[in-house]
Amino acid sequence: MRRAAGLLAVVALVVGVVAAGYVVADAGSSRNSRVHTRAPSTSAPSSSAPSSSATSTTTAAPSQPSPVTFAFGGDVHFEGTLRSRAVADPGALLAPIARVLASADVAVVNLETAVTDRGTPAPKQYTFRAPVAGLVALRDAGVDVATMANNHGMDYGAVGLEDSLAASRSTGFPVIGIGENAAQAYAPWRTVVRGTRVAVMGATQVLDDVVRTAWTATDTHAGLASAKEIDRFLDEVRAVRPTTDVLVVYVHWGVEGATCPTSAQQTLARQLVEAGADVVVGSHSHRVEGAGRLGDALVDYGLGNFVFYNESGPSGVSGVLKVTTTGRHVDAYAWVPAAIGSGVPRPLSGAAASAAAESWTSARSCTGLGP
C-alpha cells in the first residue's frame, strides 16, 4: 500500500507539472534531472497560436525548494571564422567556457543573429547570420536556451525568422523572444530543477525605427517580443508569475559602448521586478556593466560580449554571471571573469581574474543597485 501511494504521488506531480505548461522528460536525459518546454503565452493568443489553456492551472511550489544555479552569458553570434569553425566542429567550438556553463542548472545567452542562409539583409549598418551548427555549438557547450529578442534577431526578415525557428526545432535547442505571433514570442521557456519550476522570458527594448513595425510580433504577425510594447510585455510577465517558482527575464537594452545603465533601463528594471521578475539580466552595450540587488530581485544591466568577433579592448572583456536562488530568494551571485580569444570566452585565473572581478564589482557604483 505504501508503494502504491508513492506511485500515485508521482503521477499526481507529473500531471500537475504538465498542466502548468511543463513537459516531463526522462530524468536521466538531461543534467540535474531537469524537465523543460517552451510554454505557450497566456495573454491574447491569436487563432493560430498554441492553446494557452494549460497554463491557467498552477502547481504548488515545493514545500522545501532546492537551490537552483543559473549561468548567464552575453551577446553571441557566429560571424567571421566562428562560422566555419562551428560548421567544422560545433562540439569543440566553445570548449574553453563549457565547464562554466555546464556547472549551472540553467544556462542562458543572447543569440544576436538570425539562423539562416536565406533572406535579404535589413536596411541597417550591421546584419548577422549564423549556421544551424551555431545552435548545436551552444547546446553542446551546456547552454539551455537563448533569447533572440534583440536588434539582430530578424536581420534577414521573415524568411530568416522562419529558418531560425526551424533550426531551433531541428536541433532541439530552444529559443525565446521570437515567434510566429506575439503569443509565441512572449512565451517563456520552462524547466523544472529538482522540483523547482523555472521560467525564462526574453524581450528587446532596442529596435531600429526603420524595422520596428516589421519586427514586432503581434497577434497576427511574426516577430520579436518587444519591451517597447510595455503594457503587453508587463502583462505577459504578470501572467507567468503565478505559474513558476523562479522567474527570469532577459532584456536587450541600453546604449552601445555605455558602461552605466540609462534611466530607461532603470525604469524597466523596476517595472519588471514589480511585475514579478526575480532575476533581470540584459545585454546590448557590448560592455560589461554593473549588477546588484533591486529589492529582493537581482538585476544585471550588461553581460558584455560572449561569443563575438570583436575582442579588442573593452569588447573582449567577458564572463559568466552565476546566480543561485532558492525559490524566489536570491541566495548569491558572482562574476566568473573571462576574456574573448579567437571569438570565444576563456576564463581568467590568478591576478587577472581578481582584477577583473574587482572591476566588475566597482561597475555597480553607477547603477543604483545594492550589493
Q: How confident is the model at residue 36 (pLDDT cuts 50, 70, 90)?
A: low
Q: What percentage of residues in the chain have a pLDDT greater than 90? A: 82
Give the angle subtended at the CA of 146 by the CAs of 57 and 298, to the nearest 5°: 70
- 103-117 confidence digits (pLDDT tens): 999 999 999 999 999
In-domain check, residue 87: yes
Alpha-helical regions (H) of 141-223: 157-171, 182-186, 212-215
Average confidence (pLDDT) over 45-71: 57
Is 371 inside a domain boundary? Answer: no
Domain count of the chain? Answer: 1
Q: Is 36 contained in some domain?
A: yes
- Is 99 part of any domain? yes
Residue 294, domain member (yes or no): yes
What does the pLDDT read at residue 64? 82
Rounded mean pLDDT, 33-51: 42
In a domain, 20, yes or no: yes
- Give CA separation, 178 vs 221, 268, 298, in Å: 11, 20, 24
Domain limits at 25?
2-366
Judge whether 150 lies within some domain: yes
Residue 62 C-alpha cell reads as 515545493
Q: How far is CA 142 from CA 19, 136, 199, 340, in A?
A: 27, 10, 18, 18
Please report the pLDDT score of residue 285 as a whole number: 98
Q: What would the mean pLDDT of 327-344 be, rounded to a whole number?
A: 98
pLDDT band for 65, please (50, 70, 90 cuts).
Answer: confident
Instruction: Report the CATH number that the domain containing residue 122 is assigned in CATH.
Output: 3.60.21.10
pLDDT for 196-220, tens place per residue?
A: 999 999 999 999 999 999 999 999 9
- Average confidence score pLDDT of the chain: 88
- pTM value is 0.87
Lowest pLDDT segment from 37-46, 128-137, 285-294: 37-46
| Residues 6+ away with beta carbon under 8 Å from 123 | 210, 211
In a domain, residue 144? The reply is yes
Report the C-alpha gap between 97 and 346 in whole angstroms.
6
